[in-house]
Amino acid sequence: MPNHQPPKAVILDVDGTLVDSTDAHTRSWLDMLAEGGRQASYEQVRRMIGTGADQMLPVLIGISADSEAGREMIARRLEIFKARYLLHVVAFPGTRALALRMREDAVTLVVASSASDDILGRLLEIAQIRDLVDETASSDDAQRSKPEPDIVRAALARSGQPADRALMIGDTPYDIEAASRAGVGTIAFRCGGGWSEQDLAGALAIFDDPLDLLLNYDESPLVGRGEWEPVGEAR
């Protein structure tokens, strides 16, 4: 349904959307799997980044994230990410400036990420928006990760706004699906890498990165202009 009103809340994904971390997460998963003598391709793992361990472990190696082995692997993967890769993660251009612009428009900013609370806090510091975010919802707040709608619904509840007065900004089909199932429209970014515009179909609009959206802010769904409908074949 088109919505001509500007959003009162924006739900933000972080990995691949605000910070350039997709490769770092992918390599930490591959390192963890290799330690146990397990194999997966870079592309297979990378295309699952944006979901959570509850989605990834059963697909990659047939292990439940709730099992003892699964919990140990999740913990080890996080150790590897923090020790080897987190230091190299940087924010995408325009991230803080975009958040500031939205705050100037009195938009409530809520993060919805599949990351755990401890990792999420560090990523928000890297993105330089921790002081601008009103609320967060992480994997600790949802039973199931994206593309299930749990995290988006938790973020929406914390925003205090109905779904039709919120938008999500993300970089994967999982963000778009999770938001759609929660009744929220999505602006998609290409900067996460590896997703075609057809993959991102269903978003209301597609931009390169935070800076691209900032430069085109007045012509975006953030100001509620135009009859914004989900992109079919993507523009």
What's residue 146's pLDDT? 93
- For every residue of 31-61, DSSP letters joined together read HHHHHTT----HHHHHTTBTB-HHHHHHHHH
User: Given pLDDT bands bounded at 50, 70 and 90, which one contains residue 120?
Assistant: very high
Report, as an integer, the average pLDDT of 66-91. Answer: 97
Helix (H) or strand (E) segment spanning residue 11 = strand 9-12
- Residues 6 or more apart in contact with residue 138 via CB below 8 angstroms: 111, 113, 114, 115, 116, 117, 120, 151
Placement of tokens 């739900």 in the chain: 11
pLDDT digits (tens, 9 = 90+) for 159-182: 999 999 999 999 999 999 999 999
Q: Is the pLDDT of residue 105 over 50?
A: yes
pLDDT at 2: 52
pLDDT at 96 over 60: yes
Q: Where are the chain's structural domains?
A: 9-20+90-223, 22-88
Q: Which residues contact 176 (CB under 8 A, 6 or more apart)?
A: 170, 186, 188, 200, 202, 203
Q: Is the overall model pTM greater than 0.75, yes or no?
A: yes
pLDDT at 226: 62
Span 189-228, pLDDT tens digits: 999 988 999 999 999 999 999 999 999 999 999 997 566 7
Judge whether 9-20+90-223 and 22-88 match in fold: no
Structural contact between residues 89 and 21, judged by C-beta atoms closer than 8 angstroms: yes
- What CATH number matches the domain at 9-20+90-223, 3.40.50.2000, 3.40.50.1000, 3.60.15.10, 3.50.50.60? 3.40.50.1000
Residue ranges in 81-224 assigned as alpha helix (H): 95-104, 117-127, 150-159, 173-181, 210-215
Fold of 22-88: DNA polymerase; domain 1 (1.10.150)
Look at residue 224 in the predicted model and tell me its pLDDT.
75
